[in-house]
Structures are given as structure tokens and as C-alpha cells.
Amino acid sequence: MKFRFWVISLLVISILFLTSCKNNEKVDTSDITPQVTLNNNSTSENISDTNKPSEILNNDSTSENMSDANKQSEMKSPTTEKSSIKNTKCRLYFLAATELEYYYIDKIIPVEDNALITALTKELQSTSYNKDFLSLTDKIKVKSAKVDETTGVLKIVFSGSYVDHMNLGTNTEDGLLTSLLATYGYNLGVDKVAIYFNDELYTSVKGDLPEGYFNVNYPSAKVYNP
């Protein structure tokens, strides 16, 4: 009887033990499930965060590349190309206002884009040669200059009247005109020059110009030695 009692007791204990193990397994499984969910959510956020910087970097990189391409395109634009400058030997005529004597200067000047008249005018406007030289006012500019192939007349159009910006008498106005005609005529190899102030033909103190131009007459000039 005692033996049977112990056997039954062992069986009961075994059944209780097995039942307890099964309950523990269920509890452990329920504890693991939320952890798997949390891990999945964490992975999703990490991927999202990883993608966002990647997208930003790609967009920034593309923007920078486009900006660099635009800058290179602007650098290659024809408007930014350097103009051509040629050093040209020229002769300049000036009137010494005090003594009413003419002088000439031979020098090499930079001529940009073959605009010889503009370059010569700039030199005639300079006051650096001699304070007594009658220089053309710098308040006007050359709008256009062209030699008519049919008539051989050099037509120069100024932006305005230099007479209106200079205090000139009869002798000085005529002397300045002679300097201009001699300088333009000598360097372009022409003997007829028409000067316009915008659309108006300039006649100076010589009265009407029936032919519409001045004849180039070279003054008796001395070489200038500063």
C-alpha cells in the first residue's frame, strides 16, 4: 500500500510540474510578442531616417551640380568674351591755346575692336599731354563713325555738341576743329570729314557746308617734345 501511495504521489507531482511549465511557456510567449512589434517599429523609423538624409543629400548635390553647370554656361557666354585690343601707331594734333600754335604727337595707343575713331577721340580728350593744349571735352562720346565707300567721306556722329560744353572763341573753336580734322584725316587716310551732333550737321564758324563735309587741311605743326 505504501508503495502504491508513493507512486500515485509521484504521478500527481509530475502532472503539477508539467502544468506549471506549460503556463510559464505561455507567459514567456506573450512577453516576447510586444518586443518583436517594437523592434519592427524601430526598424521602420531607422529606415525612414536613413532615407531622408539620403534624399536631402541627393537633392543638394543635384542643385549644386545644376548651379555649377549654370555658372559654367555663363562663363562660356559670348557676352563675357574678351574684346580684341590692338596697339596702333597714331598721330595726334593739338592747338596750344595761349600761343595759338599747333603741335603733333606720334604715339602708340590701344584700339579696342577696331574702333580707331573712339580711341583717337579719347586721346584728344586727354589733358595729360600739356595743360595749354586745347583738349576736347569728355562730356561727349562717339556714337558712330563710318567712311562712305562711294563718296569717301568720313562721317562721325557725336552724342552731343562739344561747343555747348566748352568756352570757345572764334579762334579756339576753329583751332579745335582743325585739330580734330587733321587727327581723324591723317590716321584714316581721308580728306573729307562730316561731323554731326546727333542728327545735326556741325558747320563750325565756317557757315553753311553746301557739300556736307569739311575738307581736311593739315596745319603747320611742330613735333611736341615734353
Per-residue pLDDT of the chain (226 residues), as tens digits, is 555 556 566 665 666 555 555 544 444 444 433 333 334 443 333 333 333 343 333 444 444 444 454 444 444 445 556 779 999 999 999 999 999 999 999 999 999 999 999 999 999 999 999 999 999 999 999 999 999 999 999 999 999 999 999 999 999 999 999 999 999 999 999 999 999 999 999 999 878 899 999 999 999 999 999 8
Q: What is the pLDDT of residue 157?
A: 98
Q: What is the pLDDT of residue 183?
A: 98
Set of cell numbers at residue 33 = 510578442
Nearest Cα residue to 154 out of 193, 189, 128: 193
* Alpha-carbon span 75 to 72, nearest angstrom: 5
* Alpha-carbon span 46 to 208, nearest angstrom: 92
Residues whose CB falls within 8 Å of the CB of residue 200, separated by 6 or more in sequence, listed in order? 161
3-state helix, strand, coil in the chain (%, to 5): 50, 20, 30
Q: What is the pLDDT of residue 106?
A: 98
CB 114 within 8 A of CB 132: no
Indicate left, alpha or beta for 198 from its phi (over 0: left) and psi (-120 to 50: alpha): left
Q: What is the pLDDT of residue 35?
A: 39
Burial of 149 (0-12, 13-18, 19+ CB in 10 A): exposed
Q: What is the pLDDT of residue 14?
A: 63
Phi, psi at 84, each rounded to 5°: -90, 135
Q: In the chain, what are the domain boundaries?
A: 2-78, 85-223
Handedness of CA 121, 123, 124, 125 (dihedral sign): positive
Q: What is the pLDDT of residue 59?
A: 44
Q: What is the pLDDT of residue 6?
A: 60
CA dihedral of residues 33, 35, 41, 42 (deg, nearest 10): -160
Provide the 3-class DSSP secondary structure of residue 153.
coil
